Chains A and B, each alone.
Chain A
Amino acid sequence: MSSNAYQLLALAARALFLFWGALIVLRAAFNLLAQHRARKRLLRLLPDAGMVGEMRDVESNQAYPLPREGVLGSGRGCDIRLKGLRRRQVNFAYVDGKGILLTPCHRRTDTQLDGEPLRRSAYALHGAILQVGGYTLRIRLFAGLNVPHPAQYQEHWQPAYDDELYAPDETQMQNPYAAYMPWAQAVWPREEGEDAPVFNYAPAPQPMPSQPPQHVYAPPPQQAYMQPSQEEEYPAPLPAPDSGEPFLPEQEQAPAPFDAPRRHRRSDRRREV
């Protein structure tokens, strides 16, 4: 192509390049805006998007939405702000498959999780009670989240034990699990002269802690999940051979039905109206 012809073509192509450049920018800008609006509409339909549950003040019944990650305190940047607390009191983060990881921001703190002082990181499940400052907050997680059910931990739960081995009586020597597993007698029938089977003695059943008032739901002590590394130290409970129900000692009742809150929907608002 001759130089002059090319020059004409290149000069004409400038307009084309400019048009395409403008088209790219406009398309991208409109695309960005449209996606932004679509997302806003979607979030309007899902007001709980990004949240994993709520913290409910037991006394005032006030609910605070619980994001996946954040800080509880009185500071301006906190995700859950409560007056009277330190600027940053507790960090929380949802960990898939484990629960809400609570980490105190200060070493000296009066924060308690299920009655235990929160001195290091600990996992809280649905129904856990967090006492912080003058507040008593109940953690409620949405249904459908991948978190362990409190009852799963209850199977591993052992009563408080003060390092003294329980001296079993004669009956329990014959079947140390008798108090826990009445059916075990059928599994291991004893005959005269037969050596007693070797059992790892379970600690003595201790009286349950005083029950909270009926209007406040407090889960049973959950020592095991507060210290996840200790889970493996306890033997897994044996399943009952004849009944399909999970084994639970008599004194340890399963918690109330899993009353996890439902996510809100737009139809909820319509009903309210």
Chain B
Amino acid sequence: MNIALKAKKEKRKKTSQRLLTGTVMLFVFCGFLLLFLQAPSPRTALMMAAVPLGVWAVNTFVPKLFPMDGLLLGLINFLCALGILVQYRYNPARGIAQCLNYSAGLIAMIACTVAVRHIKNWKLLMLPIMAGCCALMALPLIFRAASAGKGATAWVEFGSFRMQPSEIVKIAYLFVLAYFLSRRRVLFSMVFTGLMLGFLVLQRDLGTAAIYGATALVMLYAATSSLLLIGSILGAGVAAVSVLYMLFKNSFFLTVQNRINNWLDPFATYDQLGGGYQIVQSLIAMANGGWWGTGLGLGNAQVIPEFSTDFIFSAVMNEFGLVFSLLVLCVFALIVLRSADIALRSTSAFHAMLALGCAALLAVQTFIIIGGVTKMIPMTGVTVPFLSYGGTSLVSCMGVMGMVQGVASRNERILQEDQQLAEDSEEDMP
């Protein structure tokens, strides 16, 4: 290819990414400027300078040090910056903590990118990874950490440090599924998925179990292209859940039953403990925001008990409005599309399955939580990727995106090699 043409294209691509980065920086800067004008403080002034600069630095320097997809990185940074802004607006301490979580997430993303790009022999790692998955998933059952009143026992506490192992296991789970499905070990993949789902059901973390199950189904279909198999698994799953629900209706699945009742009619259980209070408040907050929102700093989403984690989307909708929230959903859709595109470009089955699994996981998680918040489906305790407060969630989401970045950089490297070989071949021709 003509060198000048190549350079021109590269320049155009860079300019486009710079414009995207610039827009995100302006957005975040103006958000913090408004908060500064509402309540001037040195901390807010610092955030006003630091967050846009951080966005610029990450978007500019990280792809140079570690080959990454610039567009994907820009979109992820926009969502993370929005999350930090909303967290800071309601609780400045949480906003700053979210910045630190983002730094940890960035490290996880880079680590996953490098691992996917450079590790060639995954076979050796599979056994330790699977053993680690089982050990981590068993931790909450052993420790029986806090949050018993909130339905799930998925947390582990070490002093002041809290973590949700099922979020970290997501990354390893995708590696294991992608590896075995790319080698057509369908039965083994199903057994491993069943084991993970068993752990999650024992932890009563049904939202995460739904994410794991749906992701496995998508990957299974991609690997086998057998609708019969998927239909059989779905049928067996529904039958098993129905039987379990009938058997343990008043003991084990009481929380699930409550959540379904809250979903069907949240106003009926509005004033009961564990009732539909959160969903009703979420609906009111979203309705209060209307099409264009109440304005940054003027909303009242703090009346929702879990507004910073599970119901962060309601808080965004309250202050920024329905139209802006739809744009946020578009950003999620673009990230999923880009990940699926990267999966389709991949030349190796393992990497294709990995990127597809990441895209499916992100799509399913976003659908489950936003569907729950908007009362489309029963509410489950899942975080909104990149927006919700929480170190484990942000680290795992960015790790998952790091895997996609690794596949993207590998694709790019192979394409460059092909291009180079074709050019060499052209030069050799008489």
B422, A6: Cβ atoms closer than 8 Å: no
Identity of the chain B residue whose Cβ is nearest the Cβ of A95 in the assembled complex: B120
Q: Provide the A29-73 mask, 1 if CB < 8 A to any CB of B, else 0.
A: 111101110110010011011100000000000000001110000
Q: Note all chain A residues with C-beta closer than 8 A to B296.
A: 10, 13-14, 17
Looking at chain B's contact residues, the main secondary structure is: helix
Q: Note all chain A residues with C-beta closer than 8 A to B38.
A: 1, 6, 10
A16, B30: Cβ atoms closer than 8 Å: yes
Identity of the chain B residue whose Cβ is nearest the Cβ of A11 in the assembled complex: B295
Q: Note all chain A residues with C-beta closer than 8 A to B24.
A: 24
Closest Cβ of chain B to A177, distance in Å, is 38
Q: Provide the B313-345 mask, 1 if CB < 8 A to any CB of A, else 0.
A: 000000011011001101100100110010001
Interface hits, B233-268 → A, CB 8 Å = none
Q: Note all chain B residues with C-beta closer than 8 A to A24.
A: 20, 23-24, 27, 75, 78, 327, 331
A68, B295: Cβ atoms closer than 8 Å: no
Complex interface: stretch among B125-133, B152-160, B413-421: B413-421
B292, A45: Cβ atoms closer than 8 Å: no
Interface hits, A231-266 → B, CB 8 Å = 262-263, 265
Q: Note all chain B residues with C-beta closer than 8 A to A208.
A: none
A196 interface residue (CB < 8 Å to B)? no
A22 interface residue (CB < 8 Å to B)? yes
- Number of B residues with CB within 8 Å of any CB on chain A: 55
A17 to B422, CA, bound (A): 47
Interface hits, A124-156 → B, CB 8 Å = 142-145
Q: Provide the B84-97 mask, 1 if CB < 8 A to any CB of A, else 0.
A: 00000000000000
Q: Known: A17-B320, A50-B414. Contact between A22 and B37, CB under 8 A?
A: no
Q: Provide the B10-47 mask, 1 if CB < 8 A to any CB of A, else 0.
A: 00010011011001101100110010011000000000
Q: Known: A13-B296, A144-B425. Contact between A35 and B13, CB under 8 A?
A: yes
B300 interface residue (CB < 8 Å to A)? no
A143, B425: Cβ atoms closer than 8 Å: yes
A18 interface residue (CB < 8 Å to B)? yes
A25 interface residue (CB < 8 Å to B)? yes
A179 interface residue (CB < 8 Å to B)? no
Identity of the chain A residue whose Cβ is nearest the Cβ of B341 in the assembled complex: A36
Q: Which of B9, B17, B37 contacts A6 (CB 8 A)?
A: B37
Closest Cβ of chain B to A246, distance in Å, is 23
B135 interface residue (CB < 8 Å to A)? no
Q: Provide the B150-193 mask, 1 if CB < 8 A to any CB of A, else 0.
A: 00000000000000000000000000000000001000000000
A28, B75: Cβ atoms closer than 8 Å: yes
A108 interface residue (CB < 8 Å to B)? no
Identity of the chain A residue whose Cβ is nearest the Cβ of B329 in the assembled complex: A25
Q: Known: A49-B419, A145-B421. Contact between A14 and B293, CB under 8 A?
A: yes
B426 interface residue (CB < 8 Å to A)? yes
A201 interface residue (CB < 8 Å to B)? no
B349 interface residue (CB < 8 Å to A)? yes
B424 interface residue (CB < 8 Å to A)? yes
Q: Note all chain B residues with C-beta closer than 8 A to A265.
A: 422, 425-426
Closest Cβ of chain A to B154, distance in Å, is 33
A10, B419: Cβ atoms closer than 8 Å: no
A18 to B292, CA, bound (A): 8
Closest Cβ of chain A to B37, distance in Å, is 5
Q: Known: A14-B295, A49-B415. Contact between A9 and B421, CB under 8 A?
A: no
A45 to B418, CA, bound (A): 11
Closest Cβ of chain B to A192, distance in Å, is 57
B1, A45: Cβ atoms closer than 8 Å: yes
Identity of the chain B residue whose Cβ is nearest the Cβ of A13 in the assembled complex: B34
Q: Note all chain B residues with C-beta closer than 8 A to A28.
A: 20, 71, 74-75, 331, 334
Q: Note all chain A residues with C-beta closer than 8 A to B320.
A: 14, 17-18, 21
Identity of the chain A residue whose Cβ is nearest the Cβ of B418 in the assembled complex: A49
B100 interface residue (CB < 8 Å to A)? no
Other than A6-B37, A18-B327, A145-B421, give 8 A-B pairs with Cβ distance below 8 A.
Answer: A13-B295, A17-B31, A18-B292, A20-B27, A25-B327, A32-B71, A262-B428, A265-B425
Interface residues of A (CB under 8 A from B): 1, 6-7, 9-11, 13-18, 20-25, 27-32, 34-36, 38-39, 42, 45-46, 48-50, 67-69, 76-77, 88, 93, 142-145, 262-263, 265, 267
Q: Could you show 17 A-B contacts with beta carbons less than 8 Å apart?
A: A17-B320, A21-B327, A23-B23, A25-B331, A27-B19, A27-B20, A31-B16, A32-B71, A32-B338, A45-B1, A49-B422, A50-B414, A68-B414, A77-B225, A144-B425, A145-B421, A267-B426
Closest 4 CB pairs of A and B: A10-B295, A21-B327, A144-B421, A49-B418
